[in-house]
Amino acid sequence: MEDSKIIELFTERSEQAIIELSNKYGKLCGSIASSILPDPGDVEECLNDAYLGVWNSIPPKNPEYLPGYVCKIVRNLAIKRLRFNSAGKRNTLYDVPLAELEDTFPVSGSVEEEIEAKIVAGIVNKFLSTLGKDDRVMFVRRYWGADTVETLAADFGKSKHLVSAKLSRIRKNLKKYLSKEGITL
């Protein structure tokens, strides 16, 4: 079913919209949630919460790109659940990728910093468009999807050392690119 038809079903408040959304993007959403959450029960709950979130937000929102809209909701809910589950603990799945990026991005907090974060996101997207497909996919899967270096190495047919080195070079180049664009770190 076309995305526009699924959105139309949500607008009409038809429960069929959730079924169609799940049929079309359930596997993708499940993959995102399970890359962040180790417990299948948490993954299932996250997906249900995401479908409810989409139900509650369409209308009034009318997303231009439905899979991106749904995936962002799933990812945010999965991270929220992970933080809840690991409150007071260290070394969660996301700790390592976030620590790797720690000195690349400024930390946000105030309204001005939130605006800067949106500007930085646009610059990062521009940087990512300069990368080859494999490097871009590897970077996004590592730092957006929290894939492990081992998983990336297996999927790309490379050694863990080579993947780590490649990600390190990309982060270094990103830091230079941000600096060149006037983003102070």
95-180 matches 3-85 in CATH topology: no
Q: Per CATH, the architecture of 95-180 is what?
A: Orthogonal Bundle (1.10)
Which top CATH class is 3-85? Answer: mainly alpha
Angle at 135 between CA 132 and CA 139, to 5 degrees: 135
Residue 107 makes CB contacts below 8 A (sequence gap 6+) with 113
Q: What is the pLDDT of residue 31?
A: 87
Percent of the residues in the chain that have a pLDDT greater than 90, as a whole number: 29
Residue 64 makes CB contacts below 8 A (sequence gap 6+) with none
Question: 10-residue block means of pLDDT along the chain (185 residues)?
Answer: 89 91 91 86 92 88 86 88 72 61 55 63 86 91 84 92 92 87 71
- Tell me the domain boundaries of the chain: 3-85, 95-180
